[in-house]
Amino acid sequence: MSRILFVLTSHDRKGPADAADAAPSGFYLSEVSHPHKVLSEAGYAVDFISPRGGKTQVDGLDLNDPVNAAFWNTPALRAATENTLMPLQVDPDAYVAIFYAGGHATMWDFPDSAELAAIAARIYERGGVVAAVCHGPAGLVNLKLSDGRYLVDGKDVAAFTNQEERAVGLHDVVPFLLADVLRERGARHVPAPDFQAHVVVSDRLVTGQNPASAAGVAGAMLPLLASAV
C-alpha cells in the first residue's frame, strides 16, 4: 500500500513558545480529517509526523462536523496524532507524498524545520507530491530543492491570504504574512475570496487556501499520485 506523510505542528499556541498569554492552537482538525478521509478511502496509508515528534495539540475541535467526529473518535487515528513520528524516524523514500496540515501554530515551527524540508524535497525530487493547506504552506517557505532553488519558485500557490489573516484578527500576531513570504520566495500567490474553497495545482505541488479547501487538496492529489513514484 502506498503511503502518505501528514505533517502536524508541534507548536501549541498562537504566539512564540514563551508567550504564556497566547491563545492555544495546534493542527486544525478539519485540515487533517477531511484529507485523511479522501486519501484513505482511495487506498493510501497515512503516517503522522511533526517537527519534534510525539504529542501534538488540536485546534478547531468541531465535533459537529461528522468527518471530524469520525476521525477524532477513532482511537487509532487520535492516538497517531498524539504519538507522531520524529523526522529522524522517517525514510522519505517510503512515501509517495507529503501533506502539510495547517493551523496557526504552524507559523512558528514549520518554517525552520530543516529536517522536514529535506524529507519533502526528497519526496518531490523522486517524483512524489508535495501538498499543503491554509497555514500548512508555512512548511514551504524555506523548502529548497537540491539545486538550491525554493520549491515554490515559479509555481502557482494558494495559502491563507493577508485579507483572511486580517479578518480573523491575527494579522499582527503571526510572525510573518504567509502570502507575502511565498511571493518573496518566487511563488505566484493566487488568492480567492475570503474563506472560499480554493485549490491550486502547479506541477506536483498542490496547495489550498483555507480550511474549506482541505478536502479539495486531497482530491487534487489523487490524479498526481496515480503516476507518482
By annotation, the residues acting in catalysis are 134-135, 165
C-alpha cell at 44: 493510501
C-alpha cell at 85: 513520528
Q: CA 27, CA 102: separation in Å to the nearest integer?
A: 6
The residue assigned the cell 512548511 is: 139
Q: CA 131, CA 126: separation in Å to the nearest integer?
A: 15
Q: What is the DSSP string of 105-145?
A: THHHHSTT-HHHHHHHHHHHHTT-EEEEETTGGGGGTT-B-
C-alpha cell at 7: 505533517
